[in-house]
Structure 1
Amino acid sequence: MTEVLFYHLTESRLEDALPSLLEKSVERGWRVVLQTASEERLQLLDQHLWTFRDDSFLAHGTDQVAMPEHQPILITATGENPNLATVRFIVDGATPPDLSEYERVVFMFDGYDADQLEGARGHWKRLKSEGHQLTYWQQSPEGRWVKKA
């Protein structure tokens, strides 16, 4: 079964929390596909990952570039997996594809967005009933991730 992690953003924006989790994934040698809810959001995250820190960037591409299969992190607004990733990040309330081809799936959701919160609850219930291994992480007031379930 796929390991599924839920990250509940309460103290920071997705743009602030996402890069460090993606960096850790790449450091572990994992290929990642990052699924957004829209093409507009895809473009914003694409730009952000190149500029989120002055001293470095996060190598990545989108499914709109040539040879997406070579990207260590690929951003898409679809359920496709063109870079054959084993880890999938689902953000902005995007609708997840079949998760069976992934070792790990990470749902990141804004705790102040009612639609994202309700969507995450629905995914949790469904995936738990399917027998997936689920963990739930919430930000502390300092912005650190604390395992709650």
Structure 2
Amino acid sequence: MTEVLFYHLQNMALENVLPPLLEKSLERGWRCVVQSTSEERADALDAHLWTYRDDSFLPHATWRAADAAEQPILLMLEEGNPNGAQVRFLVDNAGLPAETAGYQRLVLVFNGDDDEALAAARSAWTDCKARGLTATYWQADERGRWQKRN
């Protein structure tokens, strides 16, 4: 069954949180999709993933790439899973996909300082429960480590 993780960002930027989560996913042998809600944001994440740290490399592409299906990390705007991802990251208020069975995890990352993002996350939480999906809520502690909350 698909596990849904809600990551609540407070005083943290997605650009600082997403790369380590993607690295951990790749270390586990998982392919990933990162779904955003605008081309501009997807392009900005694309550029950031190439340069976020000098000593790291996150192999990825956008949905526009001819070899998108072969990429370990694929940045997208719409539903679909062309690279056979086991994990789908939903950012910038991207909604849960209609079909979740193909994923081991859905990771919804939302900005706790944004009222619209909070409302979207609450709606997604309700949607998860209505679909019978297991959802967990995660928040960073004062040292920036993710802690599961009830």
Distance 1:63 1:33 in 2: 10
Q: Which runs of 5+ in 1 are unaligned?
A: none
Determine what percentage of the aligned residue pairs are the same residue.
53
- Checking the alignment, whether the CA contact within 8 Å between 2:10 and 2:112 is kept in structure 1 is yes
CA contact (8 A) 2:5 2:107 kept: yes
Shift of 1:26: 0.4
Q: TM-score, normalised by structure 2?
A: 0.95
Q: Distance in 2 between matches of 1:68 and 1:17?
A: 23
Query: Which 4+ stretches in 1 moved above 2 angstroms?
Result: none
How many residue pairs end up in the alignment?
A: 149
Name 2:108's counterpart in structure 1. Answer: 107
User: Is the Cα–Cα contact under 8 Å of residues 11 and 113 in structure 2 kept in the other structure?
Assistant: no
In structure 2, the partner of 1:143 is 144
- Residue 34 of structure 1: how far off its partner (Å): 0.5
CA RMSD of aligned residues (A): 1.0
Given that residues 86 and 101 in structure 1 are in contact (C-alpha distance below 8 angstroms), is that contact kept between their aligned partners in structure 2?
A: yes
Q: In the alignment, which residue of structure 1 is the partner of 2:117? A: 116
State the secondary structure of the residue aligned to 1:108. Answer: strand
After superposition, the C-alpha distances for 1:1-48 in whole angstroms (9 at most, x for unaligned) are 310000000131000011000000000000101100111000000000
State the 1:100 CA deviation: 2.4
TM-score by length of 1: 0.96
Q: Which runs of 5+ in 2 are unaligned?
A: none
C-alpha distance in 2 between matches for 1:38 and 1:141 = 31
Instruction: Please give the per-residue CA displacement for 1:56-115, whole angstroms capped at 9, x wherever unaligned.
Output: 221111111111110000000111211111110000101232222211100000001111
Contact 1:37 1:95 in 2 (8 A): no
Cα distance in 2, alignment partners of residues 117 and 10 from structure 1: 11
